[in-house]
Amino acid sequence: MAGKKWLRLVKSLHQKKYRNQHQLFFIEGAKAVSTLIAAGSVPERIFVTPDQESQFSYSQTEIINEQELKKISALQHPNGVLGVFRMPSPKEISPKDWSVALDDVRDPGNLGTIIRLCDWFGIKNIVCSNTTVDCYNPKVLQATMGSIAQVNMVYSDLESYLGSLGLPIYGAVMEGTTVYQTALPASGILLLGNEANGISASLMQKLHAKIAIPQFGRETAESLNVAMATGILLSEIRRR
């Protein structure tokens, strides 16, 4: 497949059903594409504008003009490089370290930031409910800055999947015990919930402990969003 057929394919990958059908996704930006390649992902195709041609010498590289790139890009101002990659198969989760679980997280920016945070803190696995936003959504991928290549993403029914892992589950909730006073084990699951509704009632019943980030400022301040909370909690987990 080449030329206009490839461009039509990339355009279709804006939609989840076609990403799943073809098992392909695209990511934009020279740094993000290079990061995926450095991590071992083999590009199916790399589209570059002439000014970016010297950065990629792969046989899969195809030069397109700025107008063509704008038609297939998810960005308002495309940055000259778009790579198409095959979705990796989910890997088995190791019980010897921490993993993050996400219950119905809907915002692409939040998920992308959480993936990037997990890469920063060396968390290799994220387990998502089937209602969590698709990790290959272009907005999610843009927020990951290439970290999608370093984190194993699993989508499943959380209630049954988390139970099968046999690990303690620590849920991030407003009314929990402060994380700074909680004894944290060497391995476990950090569970975070939906931006508006938190962790679902059925999963609350599965928690080993409820943990919270204490508030030191004024009581009228808005609660932390799920990505901010993830960063603080992972920092404390790794500090221990």
User: What CATH number corresponds to the domain at position 51?
Assistant: 3.30.1330.30
Q: Is the pLDDT of residue 157 over 90?
A: yes
Whether residues 159 and 188 share a domain: the answer is yes
Q: What's the pLDDT at 101?
A: 98
Domain-embedded: residue 91:
no
Is the model's pLDDT at 36 over the cut of 50?
A: yes
CA angle 131, 132, 137 (to 5 degrees): 120
Pick from 86, 106, 134: which residue ends a domain? 86
Is 110 inside any structural domain?
A: yes
Q: If we measure between CA atoms, which residue out of 16, 12, 55 comes closest to residue 37?
A: 55
Question: Per-residue pLDDT averaged across 151-172, rounded?
Answer: 94
What is the average per-residue pLDDT within 48-62? 85
pTM for the predicted model, two decimal places: 0.92
The answer to whether residues 234 and 153 belong to one domain is yes
Q: Is residue 163 part of a domain?
A: yes
φ, ψ of residue 181 to 5 degrees: the values are -115, 15
pLDDT digits (tens, 9 = 90+) for 59-85: 789 999 999 999 999 999 999 999 999
Proportion of the chain above pLDDT 90, given as a percent: 83
163/167 Cα distance (integer angstroms)? 8
Residues 29, 143, single domain; the answer is: no
pLDDT at 172: 97
Domain end, chosen from 58, 86, 114, is at 86
Contact 160, 71 (CB under 8 A): no
- pLDDT exceeds cutoff 90 at 53: no
Last residue of a domain, one of 86, 110, 126: 86
**CATH code where residue 152 lies:** 3.40.1280.10
Q: What mean pLDDT value characterizes the chain?
A: 93
Number of domains within the chain: 2
Instruction: Copy the structure tokens of residue 76.
Output: 């308002």
pLDDT number for residue 1:
42
Does residue 79 sit in the same domain as residue 148? no
- Asked if residue 113 is part of any domain, the answer here is yes
Residues 13 and 73 in one domain: yes
Q: What is the mean pLDDT of residues 180-204?
A: 96
- Give the domain range for residue 211: 98-239
Residue 127 lies in a domain: yes
- Phi, psi (degrees; rounded to nearest 5) at 172: -85, 110
For residue 194, being part of any structural domain is answered with yes
Asked if residue 92 is part of any domain, the answer here is: no
Handedness of CA 42, 43, 49, 53 (dihedral sign): positive
Looking at the DSSP assignment, which residues form a beta bridge with residue 189? 99, 169
Are residues 196 and 113 part of one domain?
A: yes
Alpha helix (H) ranges present in the chain?
4-12, 16-22, 30-38, 66-72, 108-120, 138-144, 158-165, 201-204, 226-239
Same domain? For 123 and 207 the reply is yes
Give the pLDDT score at 221.
61
Q: Report H helices in 41-93.
A: 66-72
Same domain, 197 and 117: yes
Same domain, 181 and 74: no
Asked if 122 and 163 sit in the same domain, the reply is yes
Q: Strand pairing of 81-86 and 43-48?
A: antiparallel
Tokens 């039509």 correspond to what residue? 8
Whether residue 124 is found in the same domain as residue 156: yes
